[in-house]
């Protein structure tokens, strides 16, 4: 019986490490935006908490690694999702609380972790082109689901 308990503890600790490395972009690479931006079409309706954005990142990590979540997207988009999954921890992310049909949604805007966007903590990062280095996804806090995945085109 002791061996089974030890084995279960090892498995649980191993899974925690897997999910921790898969799910979280470092805090220094995350920001919750609270101001309107001319490059973002939605009005900032509410401000998500750190707990809510952490849940969003966890759900996004699961979305990226689960092919069942991708089946409604084109093969090209599915390939981009696979590439993004491999680089997930190398992005910065902006969170914006929006209202869509009366639902509280966290809009998540991902872009490369570089010094090119010095304004990223105050204003929405929007660029044309750039391929899958620039992508967005929405997270419904009520049902814990991700939707509206999109990425930039290539120039």
**Neighbour order of strands in the sheet with 145-151:** 30-32, 91-100, 103-112, 135-140, 145-151
Calpha distance 6→2 (Å, rounded) = 6
pLDDT at residue 145 is higher than 60: yes
- pLDDT band at residue 129, thresholds of 50, 70 and 90? confident
The sign of the torsion formed by the CA atoms of 35, 38, 43, 49 equals negative
Q: What pLDDT score was predicted for residue 10?
A: 40
Cα 11 to Cα 4, 14, 18, 24, distances in angstroms:
10, 5, 11, 20
Which tens digits make up the pLDDT trace of 81-118? 999 999 999 999 999 999 988 899 999 999 999 888 99
Q: What percent of the chain has pLDDT over 90?
A: 58
pLDDT at residue 13 is higher than 50: no
> Which of 36, 31, 25, 64 has its CA nearest to residue 48?
31
pLDDT at residue 19 is higher than 60: no
- pLDDT band at residue 38, thresholds of 50, 70 and 90? low
pLDDT at residue 9 is higher than 90: no
pLDDT at residue 42 is higher than 90: no
Predicted TM-score of the model (pTM): 0.81
């Amino acid at each position: 019986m002791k061996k089974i308990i030890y084995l279960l503890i090892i498995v649980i600790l191993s899974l925690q490490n897997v999910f921790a490395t898969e799910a979280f972009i470092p805090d220094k690479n995350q920001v919750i935006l609270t101001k309107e931006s001319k490059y973002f079409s939605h009005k900032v309706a509410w401000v998500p908490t750190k707990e809510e954005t952490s849940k969003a990142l966890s759900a996004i990590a699961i979305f990226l690694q689960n092919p069942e979540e991708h089946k409604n997207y084109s093969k090209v988009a599915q390939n981009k999702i696979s590439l993004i999954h491999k680089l997930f921890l190398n992005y910065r992310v902006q969170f914006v609380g929006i209202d869509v049909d009366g639902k509280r949604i966290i809009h998540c805007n991902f872009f490369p972790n570089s010094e090119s966007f010095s304004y990223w903590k105050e204003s929405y990062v929007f660029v044309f082109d750039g391929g899958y280095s620039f992508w967005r996804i929405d997270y419904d806090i009520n049902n814990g689901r991700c939707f509206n995945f999109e990425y930039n085109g290539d120039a």
